Amino acid sequence: MVRTVSALLLISFTIPIVLLSPSWFFALFVFFMCSIISYEYNKLSKKIFPNIFSWDITLDVTLLIFFFCYTSYSWYLLLIYLSLQTFFKLFFSDSIVSGFLSLGGVLLGVVWIALPGIVIIFIEKMEFGRLLIISLLIITWSNDIFAYLVGKNIGKTKLLPSISPNKTVEGSIAGLIGGVISGILLFKFLPLYRFDLTYIFFISLILSIFGQFGDLCESAFKRNVKVKDSSNLIPGHGGFFDRLDSFLFAVPILYIFLKIL
């Protein structure tokens, strides 16, 4: 019951913001969500990488999204950022090895979270950008819901028990089917880009596969840290990192598809 109520509340405020808010508020919402996710990642990563500072990744993610979306010198600023981050990690670490490990942890978090944040803002500026973002959310949510329900009720064959003991092959296949069905319905009946049915099937399947891969990557990361959830901010669901792990991996793939059309 708590899980259902939390999900409904999350959907009830996410969809109106994505669809109806002005661009400046939408951008603030993206910054806010990426900050929360990066804070959750930061807390987890400190258990693996000892020289990651509090708010380290949160600040980096926010700055990089701003650099690439709202400045004309993004690549120069990125080089300056990488140089400073490398210097501070190596200079203030106990050893060169721990310094490079911590630097890797920071860069992993930045790519994992800042890249999707940048891409979301880029997609929002495209034709039907808001609808595309909502459509991807629905595809990844359908993927998660179908996988959860089928895996819980009839799943028998473990998918990757060393990473996520509760995920099953049956649930994974059902998730892909759910993602593809929702993708076909969305792209056929909403006023989005007019794709051929085969192309819609292909896009929806690829997005669903990457969504599941994102879920597994986050599960592997949490298992390494020995925690079940990234936080307890969403009752019954864990943290925002847990709920959006599939979306974070799928949204850059959607952007690539849109750019090569």
Domain boundaries along the sequence of the chain: 2-260
Which residue has tokens 């409904």?
8
Q: Tell me what pLDDT residue 205 has.
A: 95
Q: Is 33 left (phi over 0), alpha (psi -120 to 50) or beta?
A: alpha
Q: Tell me what pLDDT residue 142 has.
A: 93
- Counting residues of the chain whose pLDDT is more than 90, the rounded percentage is 40
Q: Residue 20 burial (CB < 10 Å; 0-12/13-18/19+)?
A: exposed
pLDDT bin (cut points 50, 70, 90) of residue 10 is confident
| Number of other residues whose CB lies within 10 A of the CB of residue 121 | 20
Amino acid type, 230: S
From 79-93, 115-129, 131-145, 151-165, the region with the lowest mean pLDDT: 79-93
pTM for the full model? 0.91
pLDDT digits (tens, 9 = 90+) for 240-256: 999 899 999 999 999 99
pLDDT digits (tens, 9 = 90+) for 192-235: 666 778 888 999 999 999 999 999 999 998 888 888 888 888 87
pLDDT at 151 over 80: yes
